[in-house]
A and B are shown apart, each in its own frame.
Chain A
Amino acid sequence: KNEVEQSPQNLTAQEGEFITINCSYSVGISALHWLQQHPGGGIVSLFMLSSGKKKHGRLIATINIQEKHSSLHITASHPRDSAVYICAVFGNTDKLIFGTGTRLQVFP
């Protein structure tokens, strides 16, 4: 079983829709990262969370430490949000453990 599980694996949406991507993990963590991987392959850090909720523009990330679960929400989705969204966790070591990613396509 993967230590970091994401759902769904693939997601399509119409422009303007509210998007939710989920991440569950099975290890103790010091921090959780949400990353965006563009079609060209580059990876950008969106959020780093250890508790609560963070917001940046149309993106919101939440984490529930007790339930070992995090969600990434995109409000008013846009075609430029199309990318792979990756959840990754720092366990109790200096090693980032990655989920398999959620491929999001937003159509106009």
Chain B
Amino acid sequence: EPEVTQTPSHQVTQMGQEVILRCVPISNHLYFYWYRQILGQKVEFLVSFYNNEISEKSEIFDDQFSVERPDGSNFTLKIRSTKLEDSAMYFCASILEGGEQFFGPGTRLTVL
């Protein structure tokens, strides 16, 4: 069964460093999403991406964040200068069109 994959599963970084979280969505899916979940809190929407551009972003998704689909298979989330409060689980998801969301297993980001 096709699945969304994410790498790495756990990333530890120093405050101020750049991190890139990687996702490989399901191959024929068209819509891509990043979400985050701070420990003990609810899942929050970050950004949606369709047709090689951002279609919606939340107030969390400020200039420190960017997304890219560089090669037609990977979908990346970059955090330019990490802060302590960026520590969270980051989930990627994809859908075909108007269908159920398929979530990746998540990347746990720890900022020290």
Question: What residues make up the interface of A, taking CB atoms closer than 8 Å to B?
Answer: 31, 33, 35, 37, 41-45, 47-48, 86, 88, 93-101
> Which residues from A are CB-within-8-Å of B58?
95
Of the candidates B48, B55, B99, B103, the one whose C-beta lies within 8 Å of that of A44 is B103
Cα–Cα distance between A43 and B90 once the two chains are bound (Å): 11
Find out whether the CB atom of A33 lies under 8 angstroms from the CB atom of B101.
Answer: yes
Q: Is the CB of B45 within 8 A of A45?
A: no
Say whether B65 faces chain A, with CB atoms less than 8 Å apart. Answer: no
Summarize B's interface: helix, strand, loop or mixed. Answer: strand
Q: How large is the interface on B (under 10, 10 to 19, 20 to 34, 35 or more residues)?
A: 20 to 34
Judged by a CB distance under 8 angstroms, whether B2 is at the interface is: no
| Among B44, B55, B103, B108, residue most surrounded by chain A Cβ atoms (within 10 Å) | B103
| Partner pick for A95 among B56, B89, B108, CB 8 A cutoff | B56
Q: Which residues of A contact B42 (CB under 8 A)?
A: 86, 98-101
In angstroms, Cα B101 to Cα A33, docked, is: 9
Interface pairs (16), CB distance under 8 Å? A31-B98, A33-B101, A42-B105, A43-B91, A43-B103, A45-B100, A45-B103, A48-B100, A48-B101, A95-B48, A95-B56, A95-B58, A96-B45, A97-B45, A98-B35, A98-B43
A98, B58: Cα distance in complex, Å: 13
